[in-house]
Chains A and B, each alone.
Chain A
Amino acid sequence: MVNPQLNADGELHHLLSLDGLPRSIIERILSTADSFISVGSREVKSVPLLRGRSVFNLFFENSTRTRTTFEIAAKRLSADVFNLNIAASSAAKGESLLDTINNLTAMQADLFVVRHSQGGAPHLIAGHVAPHVHVINAGDGRHSHPTQGLLDLYTIRHYKRDFSALSVAIVGDILHSRVARSDLHALLAVGVPDVRAVGPLTLLPDGLEALGVRLFTSLEQGLRGADVVIMLRLQNERMGGALLPSASEYFRKYGLTPEALRTAKPDCIVMHPGPMNRGVEIDSRVADGSHSVILPQVTFGIAVRMAVMSIAASSTRFR
């Protein structure tokens, strides 16, 4: 199967998913991000790599945070940034989706950052844009959120240096989480030997074990000896429904408290893609505690997104 993200030379042209992305490209993104970390702390917070290029943030699903970090990243690369919030009801027609893309391409867009409630929407768009246009997936349905996966990887590398002896536990609603899927692919791609998914059976998808992920339904066992704990946001609509009885019961069984964290390694780090539900999946004492690297994640996220955009935009020849 052709990887739709790569050009004929095997270079990153679109970033749609971490599933199947070669390790070499992932590592190049991480090392490029290194060089952008310092840009944010300089007086002049921009580099001219995307000067004159137009970046369109196409958010078919609302997200102020992710959109803002992409916007900051693009501006620090000196791109012209345009934000479009397209309220996509479930009845929205793909006709208009592709029409929108065609219209924007006609306005000389160079790069689209796409968020959509349906898995695969960025693939569809990438398959129909002009050859010189790039598509970055900023989250599609339950499928993928590749820049989040990469920034999580970057964060882990920053604190742990080496991936080759780590135990990483991802806790919570894996089933509905595009972050979890991207994290899993990212961790497996760089050779993390012990990747765990922790949650109740109602929130664990099929096929994880086949990928090489260990499943745990007990938080205590899932965290035992972990170097990294990634907590997932529990969406409000999942609580009190057919998947989970209540937020409070969820917190009792899967909430990350200082006590629960005791089985993990003493120097473990705690991550969360945000926004957090304090008291639902994570206790404030942990969120604000010494193990937490949740705020640095946000900072690294900008550098990683700069890296992704600059690398993709430098690939011009497409098959």
Chain B
Amino acid sequence: MRLAIETVRLVDPAADMDRVGGLYLADGRIVGVGAMPAGFVADRRIDGRGLIAAPGLIDLCARMREPGTDGALRVEMRAALAGGVTGVVCPPDTDPPLDEPGLVRMLRQRSREAAGARLYPLGALTAGLKGEALAQMCTLAEVGCVAFAQTGALPDQRGALLNALRYARTFDLPVWLRPVDATLASEGVAGEGAVAGRLGLPAVPTVAETVALHTIFELQRATGRAPVRIHLCRLSTAAGIELLRAARNEGLPVTADVSILHVHGVDADIGHFDSNWRLDPPLRTARDRAAIRAALADGTIDAICSDHAPVALEDKLLPFGEAGVGASGLETLLSLVLDWAQSENIPLLRALDRVTRAPARVLGEDTGTLLVGRKADVVLFDSAERWKVDDGALLSFGKNTPYLGSELAGRVRVTIVGGEIRFERAAAEASA
């Protein structure tokens, strides 16, 4: 398949490029940017006028519900493509957890069959994610795990955690951690502050994050002069971001992400117990959100993820504290990133960096760019087209998004993975 996308606005953060030109793909790779390469004969031409071509989005956390629900991966992969996401990192908190090579092989096989986005599985850091015994990290890495994660709070057994970090360091395997101290987070369901106080919801204090970060950095230092590489998942507090900044200045090899919902939402959005805002970490104050936005702007936080978590409707139709946790996010990620960029006056190049080049770097992948010679993972979208987020529009099993019923700008038209068009959506009928 030789594909020519012509007269399109090319936006590639890795190349610092934002200009109109052509994009030429052949044999799964990008073969030309700007002008058509000599002798290129396209099998298909796409008129890119009015559209943006960018590297496909790389989502550092999307739960595909498999293993656990047969057939779910295929559905969620469609949702990923519909959201312009060409790479998804799957956390290991599946059912059962991804701590066995056989499970990872099966997942990758199903992913190939689903022909969706590229799959980047995270292996469990500890057997069964129990925080006690080490998982077979080397074996899991050999079958395709890109890093090793403890998905919930930090294990209570800090000795086991230190050993896991040292073992991972031995083989230069990156470790992904959630900075949450379980005993401090306790039974909390909302961020500490006036809103939790007013609603009487048990709160997760800020110190649950900062104490965990102090612990993580201390244990990281204890892995040696060239410490283990750590990626911090879902930072949520201003105080936590300050600790991250200090750790980076010190030279610790640490990267971090934040969920797009924490770029937008604050605790007051919970309103009258809206369970679609029941998230983990919980929404925090406007001050924390401002710190998250500042840290994204200056690069202290590397990447934005969707933190996609499809939840059945009946599990959200519960009182806030009992409701299922998380939000469906693959299909709203791009629109919400554009919304953030617009509201903060951030250039498109810089905004897209947080969902393309930056997450690719966290993964150590050479995707997330339109450079000639790289894998042809591309999204083509109309940044102005508005769409309504509703049950019918969302392909994911999860209709649980706080944006349900809202109108967002930015609609994906074509998603290309490895040079192959895997998703295509016609332009809206009523074009303005």
Decide if A13 is an interface residue (CB 8 Å cutoff): no
The CA of A140 and the CA of B273, in the complex, are separated in Å by 12
Report the bound CA distance from A141 to B196 in whole Å.
12
C-alpha gap A143/B315 in the complex (Å): 21
Which of B196, B197, B200 counts the most A-chain CB atoms under 10 A from its CB?
Answer: B200
Which of A34-42, A118-126, A153-161, A257-265 forms part of the interface with chain B? A118-126
Q: Is A178 an interface residue (CB 8 A)?
A: yes
B195 within 8 A of A: yes
Asked if A275 is at the interface (CB within 8 A of a chain B CB), the reply is no
Given the known inter-chain contacts A93-B318, A120-B320, please indicate yes or no for A141 contacting B192, CB distance below 8 A: no
Contact partners of B196 in chain A: CB under 8 A: 205-207
Query: Is A97 within 8 A of B318, CB to CB?
Result: yes
Closest B residue, CB atoms, query A210: B194
Query: Is B194 a contact partner of A123 (Cβ separation < 8 A)?
Result: no
Whether A119 and B273, one on each chain, are in contact in the complex, defined by CB atoms closer than 8 angstroms, is: yes
B323 at the interface (CB under 8 A from A): yes
In the complex, A53→B372 CA distance in Å? 75
Query: CB distance A206 to B194 under 8 Å?
Result: yes
Chain B window 377-400, contacts with chain A (Cβ cutoff 8 Å), 1 for yes, 0 for no: 000000000000000000000000
Answer whether A94 and B271 are a contact pair too, CB < 8 Å, given A119-B199, A206-B203, A207-B194: no
- Taking A118-B321, A121-B319, A124-B317 as contacts, is the C-beta distance between A207 and B200 under 8 angstroms? no
Q: Is the CB of A120 within 8 A of B319?
A: yes
The answer, yes or no, to whether A116 is at the interface (CB within 8 Å) is yes
Per a CB cutoff under 8 Å, which of B195, B272, B318 touches A207?
B195
Find the B residue at minimum CB distance from A208.
B197
What distance in Å separates the Cβ of B287 from its nearest Cβ neighbour in chain A?
A: 13
Whether the Cβ atoms of B201 and A142 lie closer than 8 Å is yes
Known: A1-B272, A123-B272, A207-B193. A19 touches B319 (CB 8 A): no
**Could you tell me which residues of chain A, from 163 to 177, have a CB within 8 Å of some CB in chain B?**
176
List the B residue with the shortest CB-CB distance to A95. Answer: B314
Say how far A182's CB is from chain B's closest CB, in angstroms: 10
Residue of A whose beta carbon sits closest to that of B186: A242
B192–A120 CB distance below 8 A: no
The residues of B that contact A205 with a CB separation of less than 8 Å are: 196-197, 200
B322 CB-CB contact with A under 8 Å = yes
Q: In this assembly, does B198 line the interface, its C-beta being within 8 Å of a C-beta of chain A?
A: yes
Task: Assess whether A98 is interfacial by the CB under 8 Å rule.
Answer: yes
Task: Assess whether A115 is interfacial by the CB under 8 Å rule.
Answer: no
CA distance A265 to B193 in the complex (A): 33
Chain B residues, CB < 8 A from A181: 198, 200
Asked whether A119 lies within 8 Å of B198 as measured between CB atoms, the reply is: no
A140 and B315 alpha carbons, distance in the complex (Å): 19
- How many inter-chain residue pairs (CB < 8 Å) link A and B? 84
**Is A144's beta carbon under 8 Å from chain B?**
yes
A120–B272 contact, CB under 8 A? yes
Question: In whole angstroms, what is the CA distance A178 to B200 when docked?
Answer: 7
Given contacts A1-B271, A1-B272, A95-B314, contact A141 B321 (CB under 8 A): yes
Kindly list chain B residues whose C-beta atoms are within 8 Å of the C-beta of A128. Answer: 317
In the complex, what residue of chain A is closest to B323 when comparing beta carbons? Answer: A94
The answer to whether B314 touches A118 (Cβ under 8 A) is: no
CA distance A4 to B274 in the complex (A): 12
- Residue A106 lies at the interface, judged by CB distance under 8 Å to chain B: no
For residue A185, which residue of chain B has the nearest CB?
B198
Given A1-B272, A181-B198, do A119 and B318 touch, yes or no (CB 8 Å)?
no
> Which residue of the partner chain B has the closest CB to A205?
B197
Interface residues of B in 297-330 (CB under 8 A from A): 314-315, 317-323
Give complex CA distance A143, B197 in Å: 9
CA distance A65 to B153 in the complex (A): 41
A83 to B194, CA, bound (A): 36
Most buried by A among B273, B275, B323: B273
Contacts of B319 in A (CB 8 A): 94, 97, 116, 118-121, 124, 140-141
Q: Could you tell me the distance between the alpha carbons of A176 and B202 in the complex, rounded to whole angstroms?
A: 9
- How far apart are the CA atoms of A206 and B319 in the complex, in Å? 22
Bound form: Cα–Cα A29–B198 in Å: 23
Contact indicator B194/A143 (Cβ below 8 Å): no
Residues of A within 8 Å of B321, CB to CB, are: 118-120, 141
Q: How far is the CB of B42 from chain A (nearest CB, A)?
A: 52
What are 19 inter-chain pairs, A to B, with CB distance below 8 A? Answer: A1-B271, A4-B272, A90-B322, A94-B315, A94-B317, A94-B322, A95-B317, A97-B319, A98-B317, A119-B201, A123-B273, A124-B275, A128-B317, A141-B201, A141-B321, A142-B201, A143-B201, A205-B196, A207-B194
B contact residues vs A (CB 8 Å cutoff): 192-203, 271-273, 275, 314-315, 317-323
Give residues in A with beta carbon < 8 Å to B: 1, 4, 16, 19, 90, 93-95, 97-98, 116, 118-121, 123-124, 128, 140-144, 176, 178, 181, 205-208, 210-211
Counting from the closest, the 7 A-B pairs by CB-CB distance are A207-B194, A120-B273, A142-B200, A94-B318, A118-B319, A207-B197, A205-B197
Q: Besides the contacts A120-B275, A124-B319, A181-B200, what 14 more A-B pairs have beta carbons closer than 8 Å?
A: A19-B198, A94-B317, A97-B318, A116-B319, A118-B318, A118-B319, A120-B272, A121-B319, A124-B273, A141-B319, A141-B321, A143-B201, A206-B197, A207-B197
